[in-house]
Amino acid sequence: MIQVGVVGSSGYVAGELIRCLVHHPGVNIDFLYSHSNSGMNVSEMHQDLLGHADLKFSSNVNPDIDVLFLCLGHGNSAKFLKNHTFSDETKFIDLSNDFRLKENSNLQGKSFTYGLVELNKDEIINANHVANPGCFATAIQLGLLPLAKHGQLKQSVHINAITGSTGAGKSLSDTSHFSWRNNNISIYKAFRHQHLDEINESLHSLQPDASDLNFLPVRGNFTRGIFASIYTETQLSQEELITLYQKFYEGNPFVFVSEKSVHLKQVVNTNNCFIQVEKIDDKVLVTSVIDNLLKGAAGQAIQNMNLMFGLEESIGIRFKANYL
């Protein structure tokens, strides 16, 4: 059994991660670190785990665990690892943005591999430490990687992506209160979202001259999921585009390519990404949908762990969507 520790155990992503780990047949949860909630039953914080896990939060860490998941706020994972010592055999999977970019991927001699499985599977299998991608970044990259692989990002790329309220985390802000979010929609960080840097690094690794991305992130009035609409110009036909996408994702169990419309209810509560590819005049429209808390965070982290420990990548995260 893989001995697991989780740091930063009280947020939405951590709750989903714990839910996956509790039912994973190959792991044992050693500790759930939360200094402010030490001694509290996990089901008091994550009420969906009532009856599923007899676990308590702890203010102690075991330095000899097999893998440590870091579910801390951006900037805090690096601080935590600098202040805590773990075995040289312990693997780290970080769900913040601290180590995603190549320029930040090394810490005290530890090198982090970018954990987008469909791009870096071979590297992840051999990695000791992984930087889990961002949620917007996951949906957008999965929509664009096949085009970049075949040099099709020659013209400007336009992206409109809407995310559920859980993408903002548990901490309350003016734009996350129910009274503000309900029956409302708004754009934020237009053209400047923090996930653009990691998206560009991945795309340029496949197509060095990939064109600029014009990204409009949108706050939605639903709880979870990301619906990304992406378009650019291409000379490829519909048949060529479908073949291109299907071949790129061949052997990847969580990405499904469709010529029919896709929607959020198909992926919520799953680790799946559904992609629709449609040629309209001289443009290709790509729609990419994921669950921001699973494929965009906790589910993808489990997928990375499975690969790092030689397990079949879908173990513990084969979920059916909540369609109704």
To the query of whether residue 273 is one of the catalytic residues in this protein, the response is no
In 3D, which of 115, 123, 118 has the Cα closest to residue 256?
118
How far is CA 126 from its chain centroid? 20
Given the residues 20, 71, 135, 273, select the one marked as catalytic: 135
In 3D, which of 202, 229, 246 has the Cα closest to residue 283?
229
Catalytic residues: 135
